[in-house]
Structure formats: C-alpha cells, structure tokens
Structure 1
C-alpha cells in the first residue's frame, strides 16, 4: 500500500525576499527585525510591517553556516558559528531570506548576507531550534 504525503503549509506569512537587519535575544526568545516587513499570504499577497519573534530558542543548537560568496557552486571554505556569536560579532548586517524551511521545533532560513567589511554577499543559512511558537508581530 502506498501512502502519499503532500505538505500543506498553514503559515500565514512569507519571509521570502524579506531583509533581516537586526536580531535580538529577549528572555530566551529571538526577535528578527526587518527592513521592509514581510508578506501576508492572502489573495492578493499583501506586505506587512512588523517583526518576527521565535519563542524559547535553544541557543546551544542555533547557528549560522557561511557558505560561498554569491552562492557559487563548487568547492569553498565555509564556517559554522553559534547564532549568539553571530549576533555579537555582526551588529550591522543585512540578511535577505530566499528560502524558509520549517520542521519539528526547527527552522532554516537560507539567503544572502551583506556585511560592511565584505564587498561580496555570502550565501548563508540560519538554523534555529526552538520549543515555543513563531509569532508574527504586526505593526498596526
């Protein structure tokens, strides 16, 4: 017998093409601040100003991967860094989210990181483990 599964998202917002400009720890939660908000997945889709709060983030299992410049294919030298260290080391950045992936108590945002000390953008993934909820805080 075949069992067919097709993922059906119930996420009300998309962060695709959103630019995170700052991340802040707040009592075990992580808040993402956006340059221009994110997108409500209504018909038609509608831009929304606001932040995203990820509740009860496990700092020991949340990190970033720096991959290749400009997202090039082939060999490269990468780096894995704890998320808390990234936030301390890079207070001034812009992270454009291209892909968002959600699983059981984990999420991965993939995209491109811009920092002032680098001329090129860096392909980066942000991996977060959490036990709370994802809260979309709308500025209304």
Structure 2
C-alpha cells in the first residue's frame, strides 16, 4: 500500500478476483483516487481468535503506512458506501507473532480503479 499524489494504491500478492462466471483471479492493483487523509483510518482490534473485551487503537492511515512499511493484510470483508469503503481482515506485521483483527476505513472523492497487469 503506497500513497501516490493523493491516491492510494493497493498491491495484492495473488491479484484480485474478477466477478465473472466462474470468478477468476486477475493480476493487478487497485487505485483509490483522491483519498482524504484526514478521514482515513486503521483500527487495530485484538489478536486473531481472541474474544471478549479488548483494547483497540485507531491510527491515521498515513501514520500506519509510515510506521509499518512491511505488512500483510488479508481482506475477508469489504463494504462500500458513498465516497467511503471499509476493508476488514487480518494484519500481519514482522514485529508481532500473531495476526491482529484490523479494519481499514478509507474516505475518497475520486474513483476506485481496478488496474490489470495484462
């Protein structure tokens, strides 16, 4: 995940799925245009599999990208609204042994562009 002139580019280890019949993997990236850095956040929840009460952390997305340049995020849910999207899943960072439940909330005014490597 990198910032590029106000856009956010997401890179995928195994590409993304094209919703066709049958669905098929596509090599490529997703670019979210004109991301509002003031309203885009990462919410760290709890270690994977841990239930009950927890203490989370909310961090601006720009700070997250600076602090954790090498991370892996498995997206298991995605939700779209008016100029906003939320990805939910599991975060893996080198300095932690276990994965963490994480939510990525992005506010944007541009478009979501699915770029193909082909």
Normalising by structure 1, report the TM-score: 0.83
Tell me the equivalent position of 1:14.
Answer: none
Deviation of residue 72 (structure 1)?
Answer: 2.5
User: Partners in 1 of 2:46 and 2:54 — Cα distance?
Assistant: 6
Q: Secondary structure at the match of 1:85?
A: helix
Count of residues in correspondence between the two structures: 118
In the alignment, structure 2 segments of 5+ residues that lack a partner are: none
Q: Which moved more, 1:95-104 or 1:65-74?
A: 65-74
Flag as ranges the 4+ runs of structure 1 deviating above 3 A.
none
Tell me the equivalent position of 2:103.
Answer: 125
Q: Secondary structure at the match of 2:38?
A: helix
Deviation of residue 74 (structure 1)?
Answer: 1.0
User: Partners in 1 of 2:111 and 2:4 — Cα distance?
Assistant: 14
Normalising by structure 2, report the TM-score: 0.98
User: Partners in 2 of 1:123 and 1:36 — Cα distance?
Assistant: 21
User: Partners in 1 of 2:54 and 2:2 — Cα distance?
Assistant: 30
Q: Secondary structure at the match of 1:87?
A: helix
RMSD: 0.6
Q: For 1:54-94, what per-residue CA distance to the aligned partner results, in whole angstroms no more than 9, with x for missing partners? A: 00000000010000100422101100000000000001100
Q: Secondary structure at the match of 2:30?
A: strand
User: Partners in 2 of 1:56 and 1:132 — Cα distance?
Assistant: 5
User: Partners in 1 of 2:51 and 2:40 — Cα distance?
Assistant: 25
Tell me the equivalent position of 1:105.
Answer: 83
